[in-house]
């Protein structure tokens, strides 16, 4: 039972914190100069956002309480905003 609690805690942490954290970090990615460090930074943000999106999508499909479903939907939206901000910027 202890390993199940650890697994659920890890999934909730990835799901609920991954989207907002990647959105915050993608705002900082705009100021980083292009180069190899920028590529690694963007790939880490994209991985975090993708894991959050996939986990939140699984939570939305499953039968869970409405509060967690709402939080999952909001975290899913922030993950999508982070991906959009990171890769689909308009060039100036």
Rounded distance between C-alpha atoms, residue 83 and residue 90, angstroms: 14
Q: 85: which 2 tokens?
A: 């901000």
pLDDT tens-digit profile, the chain (92 residues): 889 999 989 988 988 899 888 888 887 655 555 665 677 888 888 899 999 999 999 989 988 888 989 999 999 999 998 888 888 876 54
pLDDT in tens, 19-40: 888 888 887 655 555 665 677 8
Q: Give the chain's radius of gyration (CA, Å).
A: 15
Indicate the helix (H) or strand (E) that contains 51.
helix 36-61
The answer to whether 82 and 23 have CB atoms below 8 angstroms apart is yes
């Amino acid at each position: 039972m202890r390993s199940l609690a650890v697994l659920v805690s890890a999934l909730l942490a990835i799901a609920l914190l991954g989207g907002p954290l990647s959105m915050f970090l993608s705002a900082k990615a705009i100021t980083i100069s292009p180069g190899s460090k920028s590529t690694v930074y963007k790939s880490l943000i994209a991985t975090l956002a993708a894991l959050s999106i996939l986990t939140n999508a699984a939570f939305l499909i499953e039968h869970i309480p409405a509060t967690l479903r709402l939080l999952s939907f909001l975290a899913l939206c922030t993950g999508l905003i982070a991906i959009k901000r990171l890769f689909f910027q308009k060039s100036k």
